[in-house]
């Protein structure tokens, strides 16, 4: 498959690069949302200290992975 060249000579990112970029952007947004929602939910049920940090970290990783996956799928559909 030939690489398309833009008007100034630079090449467009490949489909894999777009999917990777979508995953990273979605992961970052999901981590931020997970930090907010995880902190509030863990504080609401009474977690403190090390337990709070573990709960918030777990929520951040789960939401980051989920949102990143959906963003990668969305970018893959656009390729």
Q: Which of 29, 39, 44 is nearest to 74 (CA)?
A: 29
Residues 6+ apart with CB under 8 A from 76: 15, 18, 19, 22
Q: Which value, to the nearest 10 degrees, does the dihedral of the CA atoms of residues 44, 49, 52, 58 take?
A: 180
- pLDDT of 5 higher than 90: no
User: Is residue 3 a part of any domain in this protein?
Assistant: no
User: Is residue 63 a part of any domain in this protein?
Assistant: yes
Please tell me the predicted confidence (pLDDT) of residue 2.
63
As for how many domains the chain has, the answer is 1
User: Is residue 19 a part of any domain in this protein?
Assistant: yes
Domain of residue 36: give its range. 15-78
CA atoms of 1 and 33, how far apart (whole Å): 38
User: Is residue 40 a part of any domain in this protein?
Assistant: yes
- pLDDT of 10 higher than 80: no
User: Is residue 36 a part of any domain in this protein?
Assistant: yes
User: Is residue 8 a part of any domain in this protein?
Assistant: no
Please tell me the predicted confidence (pLDDT) of residue 8.
73
Confidence of residue 11 (pLDDT cuts 50, 70, 90): confident
Over residues 14-69, the pLDDT tens digits come to 999 999 999 999 999 999 999 999 999 999 999 999 999 999 999 999 999 999 99
CA atoms of 11 and 29, how far apart (whole Å): 27
């Amino acid at each position: 498959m030939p690489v398309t060249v833009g008007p100034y000579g630079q090449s467009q990112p490949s489909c894999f690069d777009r999917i990777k970029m979508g995953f990273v952007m979605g992961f970052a947004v999901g981590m931020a949302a997970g930090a907010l929602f995880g902190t509030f939910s863990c504080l609401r049920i009474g977690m403190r200290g090390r337990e709070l940090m573990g709960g918030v970290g777990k929520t951040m990783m789960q939401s980051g992975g989920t949102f990143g996956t959906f963003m990668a799928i969305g970018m893959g559909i656009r390729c």
